Amino acid sequence: MRIVPQHARSPAAPTALRSTCLPHRPAQPRRALLRAFTALAFGALLLSPLAGCRRSGKPQASRAPADLNRAGQSPAAPRIVCTVPAVTQMLLQIGAANDLKGVSTFDAPLLPKSLRRLPVVGDYEHIDYETLTALKPTVIIIQIAPLRVPPALSSFAAAHHAQLLNVSLSSLADIVRESRLLGRITGRQTQAAAAIARMQRQLSQLAAQRPAKPLRVVYLISREPMLAVGAHNFQDQIIRAAGGINIGARLGSGYPTLNRETLVQLKPQVLVIDAPGSLASQGAGDPRLASFFSLPTPAAKTGRIYLLTNMKYDLPTLAVGSTALRLHKLFYPSPTAGGAP
């Protein structure tokens, strides 16, 4: 998590900050919602189009806000506005729901009913500054390539004495680091440590069960265009933790594109297809999977093609251990196991 330094901010907020978001709609079209979740779920995919280049070098160390006390806790309960669905979930996972005062455009389907009326402040592309002003945040959480942080947002944070926290969630190590910082910000270090320990126990459990001959896995995060989980991201790590070999990593880092011919050449033994927020899978007879079952791949021959519709599987949160356990059950089902989750 990176705090945007004061010297990178404009000296004063604009005289009249107006909303830069589109008019609020209570329900997004399903296709737009799926596209949004595909982008938000994967840090590299989100940052690349904004930055236009990849970040290089070692990740920056996380720093807690300057107003934390010596015990590492805020002197008063923070008022957090979060535009990153994964971080919103992490705050819930450490018991900091009461600190949330505003959320992103795409959070509602993931929130418990008690929080679905939280004000919406926008997302990584558009911020509603009128709503943001009314919420009086002390902490604003974003996930944007550092060079593309909107100057208006930096100015707003400086003028309103709010900490602007820019998260990085590209790896499991990032998740641990950012979770610890969220624990310090909210005064819930103990809860954060417990959630991290639970995640690490789950991953250790899977490591002990890794088969001698892991199955070759392709994980598609999008069908149109076809995008695979590549190398060097948290989804790549989860596939390996679940006992698979991510052969999508052969195509490159991040989330590379591929076509049907390339998919056949990869010879996946397991094919996982992401469809967050859509109707539950109907198994081998699902028309959304028909084109994949028609391909001459080992996965099609053995029926190991799965459609995942749970949005939370996509997010880099403290639940990634549970996600890895579920994927392991898909890769290596027991004789009495049911269908895909």
Q: In what order do the strands lie in the sheet with 120-122?
A: 2-3, 163-166, 139-142, 80-82, 100-104, 120-122
- Residue 1: pLDDT band by 50, 70, 90 thresholds? low
CATH number among 3.40.50.1980, 3.40.50.1820, 3.20.20.70, 3.30.70.580, domain 210-331: 3.40.50.1980
**Which has the minimum average pLDDT: 70-84, 237-251, 275-289?**
70-84
Question: Domain 26-200: which CATH class?
Answer: alpha beta
Confidence (pLDDT) at 57: 38
Confidence check: pLDDT of 277 > 60: yes
Residues contacting residue 266 through CB under 8 Å, at least 6 positions apart: 216, 218, 247, 248, 250, 258, 297
Confidence check: pLDDT of 16 > 90: no
- Paired residues of 19 in beta bridges: none
- Residue 76: pLDDT band by 50, 70, 90 thresholds? confident
Contact 288, 305 (CB under 8 A): no
> How is the chain split into domains, by residue range?
26-200, 210-331
SS3 306: strand
DSSP string across 212-259: SSPEEEEEEEETTTTEE--BSSHHHHHHHHTTEEEGGGGG-BSS-B--
pLDDT in tens, 228-250: 999 999 999 999 999 999 999 99
The label of the residue with tokens 């949005």 reads 311
Same fold, 26-200 and 210-331: yes
- Residue 276: pLDDT band by 50, 70, 90 thresholds? confident
pLDDT in tens, 106-123: 999 999 999 999 999 998
What percent of the chain stands above pLDDT 90?
68
Confidence (pLDDT) at 282: 66
Confidence check: pLDDT of 12 > 80: no
Residues contacting residue 129 through CB under 8 Å, at least 6 positions apart: 17, 18, 19, 20, 152, 156
**Which has the minimum average pLDDT: 31-40, 54-63, 270-279?**
54-63
Confidence check: pLDDT of 43 > 60: no
pLDDT in tens, 133-173: 999 999 999 999 999 999 999 999 999 999 999 999 999 99
Contact 219, 228 (CB under 8 A): yes
- Residue 87, both tokens: 């971080």
Q: What pTM value is reported for the model?
A: 0.80
Q: Taking residues 188-213, what's their average pLDDT? A: 97
Average pLDDT of the chain is 82
Between 31 and 100, the more confident residue is 100
Confidence (pLDDT) at 73: 45
- Residue 94: pLDDT band by 50, 70, 90 thresholds? very high
